Structure 1
Amino acid sequence: MRVLKFWLGFTAAMYNATIRCQATNGIFPDASPKYSSSETLQLVSSDFCEQNFNGTITNKYHHPTTCHRYVTCEDRGPSVQACPGNICFSLERDYCDYCSNVKTCP
């Protein structure tokens, strides 16, 4: 197995886009390509945690564009988490809840 490292410059227009990798065989170009699983991009700026929007004790914050996700801030930076199903993150309760129970949402 060969590991290739590369960099992609994401923009806000790519939010919610689906991304996957394709590997082709340079020695046997007629061989079928291999694909990774698809993932949905949920973009948050790298300095998100430095902004400390609400000073929560648990370091959980509203996602900037959707109620169905939230951001946790750790030593390595922001990490986007999804609420299960079609529920929303409640900053006041510090967990995912029915959207009708969530008072604030971006």
Structure 2
Amino acid sequence: MGVIWETDFVTFFFVTLVIGGGAAFMSGRALASTWQPIWRLIFYMVLLAAAIRFFHFALFSGTLLSVHYYLVDAASVIALALLGYRLKRVNQMVTQYEWLYERAGPFGWRERG
């Protein structure tokens, strides 16, 4: 058993990072595109982490009610969701308000000077 993954790294990688992380990244982009607040994104990712924990339990004989591994899953999907959210928000700001803002790297924008 590892500190981050419960059964093996391949299971953690594909279930949590690829499947759950992909869903989290796309959810972050979707919520940013509709101008939703970040707290709503965090709430949805907490629910997604519970579903990921259930998949680990049902498909790979993982522990269902493990706070430690739930927090690892939740932190992973929240981080990927926030990444998708921020990338989409930067793109929105520099395309919809191009007369006001310009891109300042992949994660930020600044006022046109």
Which range, TM-score by smaller chain?
A: 0.3 to 0.5
- Tell me the TM-score normalized by structure 2: 0.35
Larger Rg: 1
Bigger fraction of residues in strand: 1
Give me the TM-score of the superposition, normalised by structure 1. 0.36
Higher helix share goes to which structure? 2
